[in-house]
Structure 1
Amino acid sequence: MKHFLIIMLFIFSFSTKAEWFEVVGYGGIVDGDTSSARQMAVKDAITQALIFSGATVSSVQTVADGVLEQDELKIKTHGQIQHVNLINEQQQGEQYTVTLHLDIIPQQAQCSESQFNKQITVTQSQLTQPEQARLGQIFDITKSSSQRLFNTLNERNMGVKMIPYIDKKLDVRAFFAQQFEYNANLIETLSRNSNSQYVLLSQITDISQGRKMNNDYAFWEKDAYMRNFKIDFALYDSQTSDQVWSQHYNTQGIWPHEKTKIVNVNSEEFWRTDYGQKIQTIFNKVSQDLNTAVSCLKTTGKILMVDSDRLVINLGQSHGLEVGQVLSLLHRSNLTASNGMQFAHHIQTIEQVIIEQVNGQNSIARNISARPLSNIQINDIVKVIVKEPESFTLD
């Protein structure tokens, strides 16, 4: 790591213990520039470690040989990086990877809810202007890019668990319209089929050809063009049908193929091009933004079965639940408008249950009170009760 120095502005805590994190960072090689790809990979790895540690950095700067190269990353972290060790680095085709060991001293986590994993269904993206796919016949870009996004999100050590639902085409235009007159039943169905609280929808809005790269007078050169890639994301909470996060991303990359060539967007050859690498850079950013967006959201689930004073709920080990965890119960009583649109309505009860058995995707909870559970039904809501850590204790 002799070429890199990480400068951090942080909030320091003397009462915490350092933790080691091993992470892999990725950087795309464009025009043979391995130095920039290496910097990108190092920055990516550090960002992942900071987010995963829950450990708030106001700025991370990459310095090479005493010269500030990048000052773009602005995230919140509760920790200080003590040591960074380079374990491995290698070039694989047009991708550069580095493996780092980071010694991080975390402060109190950003929020207590971050200790629970959020399950998110990743759906197939929709192409809003299909005629733009004629260049290269890349009509499969919706499924291919969604698979690539899922792989990127799934490979990273974040507090989210991704569930793929990318084989089926969906019409998601209403979910991105300003009127918000979307069909909440779609979110409910996707959530039920994947047992996830959140559903990630996306639409690719522009893959048009941009400006020509080479000079018309250089007739001996093969034509190369810039090509756009613009994509919108929206994350919905299935318990409320509310949009909890949205973001627009756009980039341009060199499209090196002749206009008549049919391009296989499922091939590594495509993803190693400058255009494919620029799309991958967007997906790397999505993974960071998404994790930050959901880490402090409340973890809720549904009741799958009621048996006297015991319940089966759709939260389990994969969500971070443990035996002894206490949950509160809410009645689900949605309101329906005159146009048929439903609005989530949850009524808080005084009932509480405690987890006595945890499975992978579900748990069994027992009534805490001696009085029977009152009118608790299937599909009612369970909410994890999070106890904030005490700042100090008296002996």
Structure 2
Amino acid sequence: MIRLYKTFIFLLIVSYSFSANALWFEGDGESLIINGDIAAAREKAIQNALLTLMYHGGASVNALQVVKSGVLEIDKLTVRTNGEIVDMHLLTENIINDSIQVTVSADIYPFDSCKKDNYAKPLFVGPLELVTPSQAQLGGIYKIPEEIGQRLYSQLQTSSRQIDARQLRTQPIAFNNNNSNDIERQMLSVAQDIYAQYDVQYILFGKITDLSDYNESTTILGVPTSTTKYRNFQMQLYVIDAINNKTVFQKKYQASREWPFDVTMRLDTSGSVFWYSDYGKLVNFYIEQSIEDIEGAFSCETTLASVVSIYNNENLVINLGQENGVRKGDRFKVLRNQFISFQDSGTHGSLFNEDDTVLQVVSVQPQHALLKATNIADMANIQIRDILTPVTDDDF
């Protein structure tokens, strides 16, 4: 009780100190209720709501206290951020089927936020590896990696404004290195090739690490009365920035759900029978959650354009266009590239330095834009695959 009192006094002092610059936001969050643990699901839903607020508002959460009906109920709900929650209220809470939905309002004091360019990032959706194929034997769901990849790609195309999903590949990629057990390093080794072939800066890929099943029995007075089969789901996703040759996102998603089908039944993983089951809903929930997480990871990443063609030594074409948010009159700067190799890891990358060369968009197509240099003489130093970075008003 004393600890809560001190915390509340501190919160009041912080609220008073920051009140001049704090901003009030409201947002929604959702989480699955796993194994009947409503408290844990509520905390996760609140985290999701706050992260959504931060991603869209240009700040993020540093430390917070949750207030419900005027009483501090959750302490130490902390996420890495560029802003601080001064005060936060849980406005509504609804439990629908096996998920909890919350609406929160938060008083946010923004720290120095990152510079955003507001262009949709071009993304290649790569294959998901099934680490232990024998675990797919129950239900015959051997094609679940391909179906998850397809759903990630489709939902990104239809619902994401921050990501331009351009290409889908569900079949395995042939690698030429010895890192057979390290999918992240394998993808880093071919990232430049994928970038050059598909005109994308980012590559999404992953692995499904657990589809195992187990039984839980219900007993009365020590006598088993029923047995329920459950199945695990564990997925690890990564996103690589192919131009800078670095990993910008990685996260594991895991839970278990009842497997309601007969052990001899084989399922079509593209059909509604699978996806309308509790287990299918769990997988789809993590697909949707991962898209939100990736969008959040992209919020402070710079969108880089690549020169794909040069016309008459006066104009050039880049791999970003109307679908990425590029408009006539937008400006880009040339980045000079220095290629480097990392001997310890066997990977390679680039160091970029901004040039004074500025180009302006004169025409826009869905996935490409035509640019012209402010000074025509600058075109002599620009080549295919050179990298451009957006110019914002803050740069002048």
Residue 51 in structure 1 maps to residue 55 in structure 2: yes
Q: Is 1:76 aligned with 2:109?
A: no
Shift of 1:239: 1.6
Q: Does 1:309 align with 2:314?
A: yes
Aligned to 2:254: 250
- Residue 72 of structure 1: CA displacement? 4.3
- State whether structure 2 residue 299 is matched by structure 1 residue 295: yes
Matching residue within 111, 115, 120 for 2:118: 115
Unaligned runs of 5+ in 1: 1-6, 391-395
Asked if the contact 1:334/1:343 (under 8 Å) is kept, the reply is yes
Shift of 1:159: 3.3
Match of 1:140 in 2: 143
1:206-225 matches, within 5 Å, as: 206-210=210-214, 212-215=216-219, 220-221=225-226, 223-225=227-229
Secondary structure, counterpart of 1:116 in structure 2: coil
CA distance 1:278–1:134, shift in 2 (3 Å): same
- Aligned match of 1:377: 383
Distance 2:159 2:107 in 1: 18
> How does 1:1-395 map onto structure 2 within 5 Å?
12=18, 14=20, 25-28=29-32, 44-59=48-63, 66=71, 68=73, 72=77, 74-76=79-81, 78=83, 91=96, 107=110, 110-113=113-116, 115-150=118-153, 159-163=162-166, 165-170=168-173, 174=179, 177=182, 180=185, 184-185=189-190, 188-189=193-194, 192-193=197-198, 195-210=199-214, 212-215=216-219, 220-221=225-226, 223-271=227-275, 273-280=277-284, 282-283=286-287, 285-307=289-311, 308-330=313-335, 343-345=348-350, 348=353, 349-369=355-375, 371-386=377-392, 388=394
In structure 2, distance between residues paired with 1:39 and 1:240: 35
Counterpart for residue 7 of structure 2: none
- % identical equivalent positions: 20
8 Å CA contact 1:118, 1:319 repeated in 2: yes
How many correspondences in the alignment?
376
What is the SS of the residue equivalent to 2:310? strand
Query: Comparing both structures, which one devotes a greater share of its residues to helix?
Result: 2
CA spacing shift, 1:112–1:213, aligned 2, 3 Å: farther
How far 1:46 moved relative to its partner?
Answer: 4.5
Closer/same/farther in 2, CA of residues 320 and 377 from structure 1, 3 Å limit: same
Are the counterparts in 2 of residues 122 and 164 from structure 1 also a CA contact under 8 Å? yes
Cα gap change, 1:129/1:252 in structure 2, threshold over 3 Å: closer, same or farther?
Answer: same
Q: Residue 8 of structure 2 corresponds to which residue in structure 1?
A: none
Tell whether the 8 Å contact from 1:309 to 1:372 is kept in structure 2 after alignment: no
1:199 deviates by: 0.4
Q: TM-score, normalised by structure 1?
A: 0.72
- 1:51–1:158 Cα contact (<8 Å) kept: no
Residue 254 of structure 1 aligns with an amino acid whose one-letter code is E
Structure 2: tracts of 5 or more residues without a match:
1-10
**TM-score, normalisation: structure 2:** 0.72
